[in-house]
Amino acid sequence: DAKQNGRNCYKFFTQEIAETIKQRQKIENGLRSSLENHQFTLAFMPIFNCDNDDIVAIEALLRCKAPELEGIGPDQFIPVAESTGLIKEIDLWVLEHALQRLVVLQQQHNFTGKMCINISGVELHNENFPPLVKRLLETHKVNPCSVELEVTETALVAGDKTCLETLNALNELGVSLALDDFGTGYTAFSQLIHYPADCLKIDRSFVSDLFSEKEPRSKMVLIIQNLAELYGLRVIAEGVETEEQLNYLKRHGCDWAQGYFLSRPLLWDDLIKRLAE
């Protein structure tokens, strides 16, 4: 009967919540022990110039070797890190290691491109973040123009003063700023002019919709491309998985591209091999 149904429903619901809490707890524990036991690593995803297929940049992507986090990627563990405050320590670890690697690439492998580093939206509300980046750039003697910081578009809060001040302070350091997963957030196009961004990264979903029939959204790639041209921003297409997509993007003036068709994220040794090719 209805009452029984309701009870079952309630039971199911509480079980589901308990499961979610357990899973988050497991991820949190995994993150804590990873920080303590140095179990984070970086994967490196080459980004290619559409004009000549050169590797012009490398995106650092966080990976975790802790057994508790097996099969769990940053899409799942970064939100937990954000809600538990562990993200600050993680972002710091990522910045330090990505900059160290960049120096090795420049000094030993003739790399002249950019290192692209993802930072959490949480940092946009942290006034200590730009001075931290400044100190790290100085410590590692890295030229700011070889660093691009990526923040997801969804992290931008329209009209938020701290957010804008942080972006401006980072911009003043000389690093470039990319708006990641662009097109999935809520930035009114008229707002774009207020952000000191250098680059828009077209979200992977729009690239995969390009030839998919099911989605008239494929126009999003062109809209973002045109927007970027109007505002004088560079465009990186993410998630390029086929030659057809790449050719389309090239034809329509996309600057840089990354995706499985071009290269998977690579371990350090494989990155070095790839750069030598």
Interacting residues with Mg ion (CB under 5 A): 118, 150, 180-181, 238
Least distance in Å: CB of 250 to ligand C2E?
Answer: 16
Give which of Mg ion, ligand C2E, none residue 194 binds (C-beta under 5 to 8 Å, depending on kind).
none
Nearest to 220 by CA among 209, 231, 212: 209
Enumerate residues 172-191 that contact ligand C2E by CB under 6 A.
180-181
Least distance in Å: CB of 236 to Mg ion?
Answer: 9
Instruction: Name every residue whose Cβ is closer than 8 Å to that of residue 145 and which is 6 or more positions away in sequence.
Output: 174, 175, 176
Least distance in Å: CB of 25 to ligand C2E?
Answer: 20
Nearest to 248 by CA among 272, 271, 228, 220: 220
Least distance in Å: CB of 115 to Mg ion?
Answer: 12
- What length does the chain have? 277
What whole-number distance in Å separates Cα of residue 257 and Cα of residue 248? 11
Enumerate residues 238-257 that contact ligand C2E by CB under 6 A.
238-241
Given a contact cutoff of 8 angstroms between Cβ atoms, the answer to whether 102 and 147 are in contact is yes
What whole-number distance in Å separates Cα of residue 119 and Cα of residue 126? 12
What whole-number distance in Å separates Cα of residue 274 and Cα of residue 277? 5
State how far the alpha carbon of 274 is from the alpha carbons of 102, 108, 115, 233, in Å: 15, 14, 16, 28
Give which of ligand C2E, Mg ion, none residue 265 binds (C-beta under 5 to 8 Å, depending on kind).
ligand C2E
Enumerate residues 132-161 that contact ligand C2E by CB under 6 A.
150, 152
Return the residue of 48, 56, 57, 118 that touches ligand C2E, per CB under 6 A: 118
| By the rule CB under 6 A, 66 interacts with ligand C2E | no
Q: What does the binding site for ligand C2E look like in residue numbers (CB under 6 A)?
A: 61-62, 73-75, 78, 91, 94, 118-120, 150, 152, 180-181, 204, 238-241, 258-260, 265
